[in-house]
Amino acid sequence: MLHELIESPGVREDVKLRGAVGVMALHGGLEAGTAEAAHEVATATGASLYSVVQPDDLAWHIPSIRYDPSHSHRLRQFLDHIAVAVSFHGFGRKELKETILVGGRNRRLATAIGEAIIHHSSLHVVTDPGSMPRGLKGMHPKNPVNLPKDGGVQLEMSAGARSPHHLSAVIVAVASVIAGEMTSSADRGGRLET
């Protein structure tokens, strides 16, 4: 499935290998603002980047757990290069207007990112996977965000959370935590805390 998507006309698969923290956007162009946020955070922090961006006329949503690294050399290369990931996603549930769900298996990093978003924004932030809707927790072991050595954090942002005002605050918050992770990692000889 993934190989068919990335071979489709107009689809871009972007990779930049830099730091041990990786930033991802698997549904760029489909989930507005996610690829842009990932690019901004990666650029600001020196983090590695992986994004798939679809053209406006394509609306192919492949669930994250079907992003199989064996179907993309670039995704495999990215995951092999990093120790931990942060993945930007969007969702459209009307009852969760200005909400961000901070999921994924690296709960230490998820808590730090959740606290930073609370500090920098007025968004409703949910960090307890038990309080998140099914399918938006980012906890599945096959989800690419959880495949790096130290796992990762999945940021599920409502449409309201992806508005320019809120998205700017989320970018600042996530970048501040990732910059700290990169500095701490360098101080420990490249190892990240879990």
Task: Name the residue type at position 189.
Answer: G
Q: Does residue 192 belong to any structural domain of this protein?
A: no
171-180 average pLDDT score: 96
Over residues 54-71, the pLDDT tens digits come to: 998 888 888 898 999 999
CATH number for the domain spanning 123: value is: 3.40.630.100
Q: How many domains does the chain have?
A: 1
Query: What distance in Å separates the CA atoms of residue 142 and residue 144, rounded to the nearest whole number?
Result: 6
Q: What is the pTM assigned to this prediction? A: 0.92
Residue 94: domain span: 2-186
Question: CB count, 10 Å around CB of 156?
Answer: 27
The whole-number pLDDT of residue 83 equals 96
Q: Does residue 53 belong to any structural domain of this protein?
A: yes
Q: Does residue 193 belong to any structural domain of this protein?
A: no
84-107 average pLDDT score: 94
Q: Which residues pair with 15 in a beta bridge?
A: 50
Cβ atoms 169, 113 nearer than 8 A: no
Q: Which two tokens stand for residue 122?
A: 């007025």
pLDDT above 90 (res 132): yes
Q: Does residue 194 belong to any structural domain of this protein?
A: no
110-124 average pLDDT score: 97
pLDDT above 50 (res 29): yes
Residue 44 main-chain phi, psi, to 5 deg = -70, -30
Residue 90 main-chain phi, psi, to 5 deg = -130, 150
Beta strand 152-157 pairing with 99-103: antiparallel
Nearest to 88 by CA among 101, 69, 73: 101
11-37 average pLDDT score: 95
Q: Does residue 134 belong to any structural domain of this protein?
A: yes
Q: Does residue 191 belong to any structural domain of this protein?
A: no
Nearest to 182 by CA among 88, 105, 39, 82: 82
